[in-house]
Amino acid sequence: MKNICKLYFALLVIACLSGCDDKLNVEPYTFISDDMFYKTEAHVESALNSVYSTLIPLYDATTSGLYGFCEMRSDNTDFEFYAMVRASQTFEAVDKFIMASSNTYLGNLWNNLYETVQQANVLLERIGDVPFADPKLKAQYEGEARFLRALVYFHLVRLYGGVPLRTESTKGPGNAHTETRASVDQVYALILQDLKFAIDNLPTRSAQRAADRGRATQGAALAMQGEIYLTLKDYANAITSLEKVTGYSLLTDYASIFHPSNKNNAESVFEVQYNSALNMQSQYIFSWGPRYGRVALTGFTGNLGGWNKPTLDIIEAYEPEDLRKDASIAYWVNPQNAEFVESFGENLDSAVYINKFYHQGTYLITGRADENFPVYRFAYVKLMLADALNEMNRSAEALPLLNEVRTRAGLADFTSTNQAELREAIFKETRVEVAFENHRWYQLLRSGRAVEIMNAHGEHQKARFKATAPRTNPRVGSHLADDSYDVKPYMLLYPIPERELRLNPTLTNNPGW
């Protein structure tokens, strides 16, 4: 019997190898290929939702998202040193300007950004053949995909400079890489081209279907276009774009903007959608909160991440009467904090954390936060418009926009229309208004003041650490290398990840790296 079974198996293998090739390549019944999938409007909408979903890890409080490279890299937040947990040391290197191109988190960010590009490219290639009852809806979906592709390329060009320009999806090893890096101008040309299509085909906020609330609108595309022109110092076009962002208003209460119960409110121009009930949660308080504050702040046992905190620089940037300070920054007081905040020279029982994305009583499942992340708010649009107007010597028009934001914050009006004084006032106001919203690093780059400000911040940090030595707690150690915060101009662009250079030898790294 055993021999018969062996013979049967051998004959079966021979038969299959000789004449059953097609039978060996049967797709599982649950498999849906591109050819089978892109057939209906519903298929396209589902694919578009997948493109949006790639923003979830990008904007979340993770070591592979934008926050560490756009906000923690700046003078707004600092990596929370804790000698007993050194797993995130490579992320600490990003904060202290001592990173290398081999940094793991840098490579992960690159992959996450290009994942959005890939998903958007797949949809853009396939949508043309799908019949739609309403051509306007088809154009809208294409506009949304182009908006999302423009958004991540806008991050890529500011973080890395010229990058590989992918306008076709990766279908296999044969087209998995681009031979050369596009120039900065070429990247911006694609971004502006995508945004023009988006602006022409996306609905305004008032015309957007209720079911689509939270998706890209014409206003979101105009806000991004305005920020691009502001970055390029094309102030006239920045004004034209930003003045067209209408249909939004400032909320009366600053803190309410960020509450999970008030998502996509009247001030929201575009925000990344999180939903903990659908397993699309964020990690904000669970990653950023004080290490030992988990029970008190969330009601769950264990520890919080404790790896990021506001700096003294940002704390001191708020004016005494500024209502935004308490809405954005809070303290958790407990003797346990002395174990890991001693090196910061502050009250040993007080741990500072980002309050803007913390809302007690809203966490139903451990590790799952439900706050959306604001990408563009109307207050930021007003401040960008004020910035552009002032640079065009239209300071009298810029001043009321600045004061609208200050009034909501409980502050007295700024009165000077001197261009230099108003420029500095707008710069400071923008920092505190959109603190912890991924804008500070880009603001430093755009202003041309990044090296100056970050070196000053570094001296401030070094002085504080030195002032607390010698440390009495053996768990707290110095984590400032000799070259920490020694910021050179070449460091304003991140290096191309080492893995990308190995896989594609035709790529060159940014000078200095």
Q: What is the DSSP string of 358-377?
A: --TT---STT-B---EEEEE
Q: What is the tens place of the pLDDT at every residue in 394-415?
A: 999 999 999 999 999 999 999 9
Q: Read off the pLDDT of each residue in 71-93 and give the average, rounded to a whole number.
A: 76
Q: Is the pLDDT of residue 31 over 70?
A: no
Q: Is the pLDDT of residue 476 over 60?
A: no
Three-class secondary structure assignment of 137-171: HHHHHHHHHHHHHHHHHHHHHHHHCCCCCCCCCCC
Between 473 and 445, the more confident residue is 445
Work out the number of other CB atoms within 10 angstroms of the CB of residue 104: 14
**Lowest-confidence segment of 265-279, 324-338, 349-363, 467-481 by average pLDDT:** 467-481
Q: What is the pLDDT of residue 277?
A: 85
Please tell me whether the peptide bond between 505 and the residue prior to it is cis, using omega within 30 degrees of 0.
no
Q: Is the pLDDT of residue 470 over 50?
A: no
Q: What is the pLDDT of residue 173?
A: 73
The pairing of strands 268-272 and 373-377 is: antiparallel
Q: What is the pLDDT of residue 18?
A: 35
The rounded percent of the chain whose pLDDT value lies above 70 is: 84
pTM to 2 decimals? 0.89
Q: Is the pLDDT of residue 170 over 60?
A: yes
Q: What is the pLDDT of residue 341?
A: 47
Report the C-alpha gap between 310 and 78 in whole angstroms: 6
Between 38 and 436, the more confident residue is 436
Between 199 and 288, the more confident residue is 199
Q: Report whether 174 contacts 168 (CB < 8 A).
A: no
Q: Which domains does the chain have, with CATH numbers?
A: 38-202+484-513 (1.25.40.390), 284-354 (no CATH)
Q: What is the tens place of the pLDDT at every residue in 104-151?
A: 999 999 999 999 999 999 999 999 999 999 999 999 999 999 999 999
**Lowest-confidence segment of 35-44, 150-159, 324-333 by average pLDDT:** 35-44
Q: What is the pLDDT of residue 350?
A: 62
Report the C-alpha gap between 477 and 82 in whole angstroms: 8
Q: What is the tens place of the pLDDT at every residue in 207-219?
A: 999 999 999 999 9
Q: What is the tens place of the pLDDT at every residue in 252-264?
A: 999 999 999 999 9
**Lowest-confidence segment of 140-154, 257-271, 303-317, 325-339 by average pLDDT:** 325-339
Task: Give the torsion sign (CA, 205, 244, 374, 265).
Answer: negative
Give residue for tokens 């106001």: 429
Between 390 and 34, the more confident residue is 390
Half-sphere exposure of 351 (CA within 13 A, CB side): 28
Q: Read off the pLDDT of each residue in 345-360 and give the average, rounded to a whole number.
A: 77
Which residues are CB-neighbours of 395 under 8 A, at least 6 positions away? 389, 417, 418, 419, 422
Q: What is the tens place of the pLDDT at every residue in 313-323?
A: 999 999 999 99
Q: What is the pLDDT of residue 285?
A: 94
Between 11 and 35, the more confident residue is 35
Q: What is the pLDDT of residue 25?
A: 42
Q: Report whether 329 contacts 346 (CB < 8 A).
A: no
The rounded percent of the chain whose pLDDT value lies above 90 is: 71
Q: What is the pLDDT of residue 394?
A: 98
| Average per-residue pLDDT for the chain | 87
Report the C-alpha gap between 451 and 457 in whole angstroms: 10
Q: Rounded to a whole number, what is the largest CA-CA distance in the chain? A: 99
Give residue for tokens 């920020």: 227
* pLDDT band at 174; cut points 50, 70, 90: low
Residues comprising the chain, all counted: 513
Q: Is the pLDDT of residue 381 over 90?
A: yes
Q: Is the pLDDT of residue 28 over 90?
A: no
Between 372 and 13, the more confident residue is 372
Q: Is the pLDDT of residue 472 over 80?
A: no
Q: Is the pLDDT of residue 336 over 70?
A: no
Which residues are CB-neighbours of 465 under 8 A, at least 6 positions away? 343, 345, 478, 480
* pLDDT band at 464; cut points 50, 70, 90: confident
The two three-digit tokens of residue 411, written as one number: 């502050």
> What angle is formed at CA 190 by the lines to CA 185 and CA 194, rounded to 5 degrees?
145
Report the C-alpha gap between 224 and 66 in whole angstroms: 17
Task: Select from 103, 232, 101 the least CA-distant residue to 158.
Answer: 232
Between 226 and 1, the more confident residue is 226
Q: Is the pLDDT of residue 445 over 90?
A: yes
Between 267 and 22, the more confident residue is 267
Beta strand spans in 261-399 (E): 268-272, 308-310, 329-333, 350-354, 373-377
Q: Report how far apart, in Å, the C-alpha atoms of 487 and of each of 74, 321, 467, 483 are.
A: 11, 33, 22, 9
